[in-house]
Amino acid sequence: MGGIMLFQSFPRAVPELRRLAQALIHQEGARILVPPQQAASGFWFGGGNVVRGPEGDLWLCGRYRNAGDSRTGVGAGERGLELAIFRAEAVNEPFEKVRSFSKADLACGGRAVVSIEGCALRMEGGEVELFVSTEKEAAYPEEVATFQKPGTGVWSIDHMTAASVQDLDAHDLREVVPFGSPERLHVKDPVVTRLEDGSTALIYCTHPFSWSSSGTALRVRAAGEEVFVPVSEDLLRRGPVWDIAAARVTERLAVPALGVMAELPPVSLYFYDSCECLRPMEENANAVKRPRGYSCEEIGGVAAGLDADFPEMESITPLEPLFVSPYGTGCSRYVSVVRLEDGLFATWQQSQPDLSQPLVGHFLPMEEVERILEGH
């Protein structure tokens, strides 16, 4: 039985899942975890994930993005400047920077890095893995070469591994997802998750040479293997309304088997970023104001799927976004969630009144998770 059919058989599941996601990504209740380098438009920190360490501590990674535009090259600004890793003792403790990688550090395969993009940490089995996507100095394929803007490159995903965060060495970087075909030329923003058979899923964003849209692709590495094998180029299809221009999955969260979910086989939520268009749109002054998104992949929604049916999933926010910042441009994206013994801890990149986008976080106690899933 497919996932959407099962949700139709248990109609309470969808509204409870939506309520859980919205309570977790609590826009007004979030606290700033990592501020950008300036409190101004174009300055961000985010695009990574949060994980639990072997000692019960919390680790997160992300990239500092400073004002700059890749359409005119890095001479216009520093743009994707630095990949940084932070550590905290607990959810209510401050995060402190413990590692940093520059664009020069992350050069791989003989190509210089123009900009650092999304990244992902994984800590399992006494090993640390760091996945990083970067825009590298490279030419577009010949058949679409005229679309490449001066000073820009192509995105791909690299990987390094070590026994600890301090032992990570960028000289060990190797490519795991190369440049794609013209229709999915740019690959970036990795997300890693373990599947029930012990394999590792690598979920990532794709963009065409024209930058007219984005999607999500999937590769899987079997247990004991090193190579990620392509599985899907369209993991989550774009929607009909607010998410018609993009669909970038940023997290997979196994839903606790509580309340209404105890009636279902294991289900996961998939947080994703999207927008209605890739350029600003003027609204009629007399129309109802609503979040459209202000550039590419600005606001968020959520999909769901049965774990047994992975990689099948279906958006449960088809008509409007679920995650919009109440501040600044409304941007809210790059959700990451880690499950702890006493609750769920989420991080995301959120627009502020000064138009900067820090990494923010919110903790949802497990008793509240249970209350929501019980329909209260």
Q: For position 280, what pLDDT does the model report?
A: 72
Neighbours of 51 (CB within 10 A): 19
Q: For position 375, what pLDDT does the model report?
A: 86
- Copy the structure tokens of residue 136: 């590298």
Q: For position 289, what pLDDT does the model report?
A: 74
Q: For position 296, what pLDDT does the model report?
A: 60
Which residue is associated with the tokens 């007399």? 286
Q: For position 2, what pLDDT does the model report?
A: 45
User: d(Cα 316, Cα 331) in Å, to the nearest integer?
Assistant: 20
Short-list 187, 193, 177, 293, CA closest to 239: 293
243 near 274, Cβ under 8 Å?
yes
Total length of the chain: 376
Write the CA distances from 58 to 87, 121, 319, integer angstroms. Answer: 6, 11, 35
pLDDT means per 10 residues, the chain with 376 residues, are 56 90 97 96 95 96 83 57 96 97 93 95 95 96 94 95 97 96 97 96 97 95 95 94 94 96 93 87 77 71 93 93 93 97 97 96 98 91
- Three-class DSSP category at 94: coil
Q: For position 156, what pLDDT does the model report?
A: 98
| Residue 349, domain CATH | 2.115.10.20
Q: For position 48, what pLDDT does the model report?
A: 98
User: Any alpha helices (H) in 3-108, and if so which ranges?
Assistant: 3-9, 13-24
Q: For position 77, what pLDDT does the model report?
A: 52
Write the CA distances from 104 to 18, 83, 153, integer angstroms. Answer: 42, 11, 15
The beta strands (E) that lie in 184-315 are given as 186-194, 200-207, 215-221, 229-232, 248-254, 267-274, 299-306, 314-315
Q: For position 183, what pLDDT does the model report?
A: 96
Number of H helices, E strands in the chain: 3, 21
User: d(Cα 48, Cα 344) in Å, to the nearest integer?
Assistant: 17
Number of domains in the chain: 1
Q: For position 376, what pLDDT does the model report?
A: 80
Q: Which domain holds residue 330?
A: 3-373
